[in-house]
Amino acid sequence: MKKAGILGGGQLGRMLLQAAINYPVETFVMENDPACPSAHLANHFIKGDISNFDEVYNFGKGLDVLTIEIEAVNEDALEKLEAEGVKIYPRPSALRTIKSKLLQKEFYQKNQVPTSAFVITKNKQELLSLREFLPAVHKLDKGGYDGKGVQVIKKVEDLEKGFDETAVLEKMVHIKKELAIIIAVSETGETAIYPPVDMIFDQSLNLLSHQIAPADVPEKVFWKAEAIALRVVKELKSPGIFAVELFVDIDDNVLVNETAPRVHNSGHHTIEACYSSQFDMLWRILLGYPLGNTDQLLPAAIVNLVGENNFTGPVLYEGLEKVLAMDNVFVHIYGKTTTKPGRKMGHVTILSSEKQELVHKANQIKHTLYVKSA
Amino acid sequence: MKKAGILGGGQLGRMLLQAAINYPVETFVMENDPACPSAHLANHFIKGDISNFDEVYNFGKGLDVLTIEIEAVNEDALEKLEAEGVKIYPRPSALRTIKSKLLQKEFYQKNQVPTSAFVITKNKQELLSLREFLPAVHKLDKGGYDGKGVQVIKKVEDLEKGFDETAVLEKMVHIKKELAIIIAVSETGETAIYPPVDMIFDQSLNLLSHQIAPADVPEKVFWKAEAIALRVVKELKSPGIFAVELFVDIDDNVLVNETAPRVHNSGHHTIEACYSSQFDMLWRILLGYPLGNTDQLLPAAIVNLVGENNFTGPVLYEGLEKVLAMDNVFVHIYGKTTTKPGRKMGHVTILSSEKQELVHKANQIKHTLYVKSA
């Protein structure tokens, strides 16, 4: 039985371990928090710091294959492990490119992947001279995550809010739509692409409202998006699951926003909606099996369950029973014991052949189920 | 978060724990073998003997709710726990009725549930006087499982093979077809019924070949089967998941063969084929949530993976990659480290709108994937 390790023990690891149950594999998880969502679901849980060279190296050295569920890992250790013969999917080289906003933008540029224009800034002084480039978005080169390390700079006065360390200033795109495409790359370089996902934002709150797959886009946009996403993963030259996030601008240009080298929130509906989910697919890749079928059985929507503002502490799911009484709705609770504002605590998937029903139920769920604390 | 216990740690527990991952629940498993398929997937694994009063009682007393994945548990301990306020689903009373072939048959008789004629035999001497009743099947009152404790007695000469302890002699039914129906019963007595499953036997080997759901039966048989299965679970007066196995005879009479008070092999396709699987459904029942939707998205077949004859030892899945390359096929490996002849090691589910494709792929899988040992 192959030994497979996962660095990180959050909800992505949890759902990955849920899919592992179908396969002959011995699972290992490393994460600092023994109460994390994944710890109890692995054959072996190792408490450890995934950003520490020695701990990652020691964790990985007896394994056949190693993957990540968060980018903030020690890639030097992964490189050493790879050199010693452990399969690391995604490859450390791809991870290194993606972890740095700067390298990631340069990678797109070098490979003729359409992406928004950008300038690299080493400090705030350099930023202040870029008035002509506004409106723009300033992104920290390293360490940004889930909206942290990102600053919108619309006007000259906003320049003050920029970062005083290496960062990328990206020209703001006039966004009509945001898409995400999940792609699987096998050990042998074969690819399988999931139908694109519409990321629908709540304009008033500037927050992701819900996601719908397949996305509602003209055929021209669809083909462009698929071609671009495929181009990205081919050039990353690494097996794994990749989520390519894309902007569609008002002229129907498609631009890459960013890529994640792992299973991704925008692919959670694949658990119920697709023959092979993104989690199932990653196991096929890690274990060297043929890729699965990415076809969707039915259109799907995802609503994320995040901690309500003003609630911090032991979690309480208000309205859960009402949502469980709704037909064709699938609740996924991530098993985190405490909530805080904005924390990802679960998601709900809706299946329906009627797009209107998906939107209706997504809204209904958002007004029924709240993550609060006791 | 509710504390839920499972007695037994086999593949049914494993798939139950896989479904638990979506819910806010703290899971406990008791089983004697720490290398069993479920042990590493529970929040808490307790090594213990599920047939021992004290061990079951001590395991259950701090829990909110307790279920079983095998009938061979100590029901006296469950009764004490129930009296002390722990929810036991299935109820010990239902479990007691089902665990005894004698009580089970009497239960059907008392409740006008059609079942084959039977005689109770206390010893072999009583059996020998029942020549007029042949052909028949002799079933041990207690302890039979997976074909053990069952003896087919066609002719007078076979009477010698009968049991010399309390047993039930059932008149042999002229079987046209075998069906299974999974039914969910909620805490409040609501029921949800899954489409019936065709259990298709290999006549030459006298072994289950594959299962197809929904079953291919005339409407009249369908309604009879559903009505009978519903009658059984209503009279058992217990929340839980029940699998009612039925015979359809050559005159299209429907007779109950036996009932299992738990998730069941004949319902494994519900994981992929139904909105709410039998495992998801059991969690809804255990945690007091509304019942899920039993509708099937697509017709499905199940092929069981059992240990090949002449192979005992560390398991090896020959042909696994070929099966994983087939479209719309879902492999479930149970994580047992050693195989032996006839041991249930996994199953494969096939989805297709074309029944012919289901049968074709089921046969293909049976001639591709073999459970052997190294």
Q: Which residues of A touch B292 (CB under 8 A)?
A: 324
- Could you tell me which residues come within 8 angstroms of residue A96 by beta carbon, excluding any fewer than 6 positions away? A75, A103
Q: Which residues of A touch B22 (CB under 8 A)?
A: 330-333
3-state secondary structure of B253: coil
Instruction: Write out chain A's pLDDT in tens, 374 residues.
Output: 999 999 999 999 999 999 999 999 999 999 999 999 999 999 999 999 999 999 999 999 999 999 999 999 999 999 999 999 999 999 999 999 999 999 999 999 999 999 999 999 999 999 999 999 999 999 999 877 666 789 999 999 999 999 999 999 999 999 999 999 999 999 999 999 999 999 998 777 667 889 999 999 999 999 999 999 999 999 999 999 999 999 999 999 999 999 999 999 999 999 999 999 999 999 999 999 999 999 999 999 999 999 999 999 999 999 999 999 999 999 999 999 999 999 999 999 999 999 999 999 999 999 999 999 98
Task: Say how many C-beta atoms besides its own lie within 10 A of residue A316's C-beta.
Answer: 15
The verdict on residue A271 lying in a domain is yes
Peptide bond into B314 cis (omega under 30): no
Range of the domain at A26: 2-88
Instruction: Point out the residue among A41, A315, A321 whose CB comes nearest to the CB of B21.
Output: A41
A246 and A180 in one domain? Answer: yes
B255 and B195 in one domain? Answer: yes
**How many domains does one find in chain B?**
3
8 Å CB contact of B24 and A335: yes
The predicted model gives B259-279 an average pLDDT of 97
A182 and A70 in one domain? Answer: no
B231 and B259 in one domain? Answer: yes
Of B71, B88, B105, the residue that ends a domain is: B88
Q: What is the pLDDT of residues B79-105, one digit of tens each?
A: 999 999 999 999 999 999 999 999 999
b/e sequence A284-312, b meaning 16+ C-beta within 10 Å:
bbbbebbbbebebbbbbbbbbbbbbeebe
Distance in angstroms (rounded) separating the CA atoms of residues A331 and A349: 7
**pLDDT at res. A146:** 63
- Please, which pLDDT band fits residue B146 given cuts at 50, 70 and 90? low
A335 and A222 in one domain? Answer: yes
B356 and B260 in one domain? Answer: yes
8 Å CB contact of B43 and A40: yes
Q: Write out the H or E segment, with its range, that includes residue B373.
A: strand B370-373
CATH code for the domain in which residue B293 is found: 3.30.470.20
Q: What is the pLDDT of residues B10-41, one digit of tens each?
A: 999 999 999 999 999 999 999 999 999 999 99
**pLDDT at res. A139:** 94
Distance in angstroms (rounded) separating the CA atoms of residues B206 and A105: 64
Q: Which residues of B touch A298 (CB under 8 A)?
A: 297
**Which residue is closest to A13 within chain B, CA to CA?**
B21
b/e sequence B248-265, b meaning 16+ C-beta within 10 Å:
beeeeebbbbbbbbbbbb
- Count of residues in chain A: 374
- As a dihedral over the C-alpha atoms of residue A5, residue A6, residue A8, residue A14, rounded to 10 degrees, the angle is -120
The verdict on residue B59 lying in a domain is yes
8 Å CB contact of A335 and B21: yes
B221 and B336 in one domain? Answer: yes
Q: Which of B161, B106, B167 is nearest to B140 (CA)?
A: B167
Of B39, B69, B88, the residue that ends a domain is: B88
Interface A:B, Cβ pairs < 8 A: 77
The verdict on residue A100 lying in a domain is no
CATH code for the domain in which residue B27 is found: 3.40.50.20
A127 and A72 in one domain? Answer: no
**pLDDT at res. B201:** 87
CATH code for the domain in which residue A125 is found: 3.30.1490.20
Cβ(A284)–Cβ(A276) below 8 Å: yes
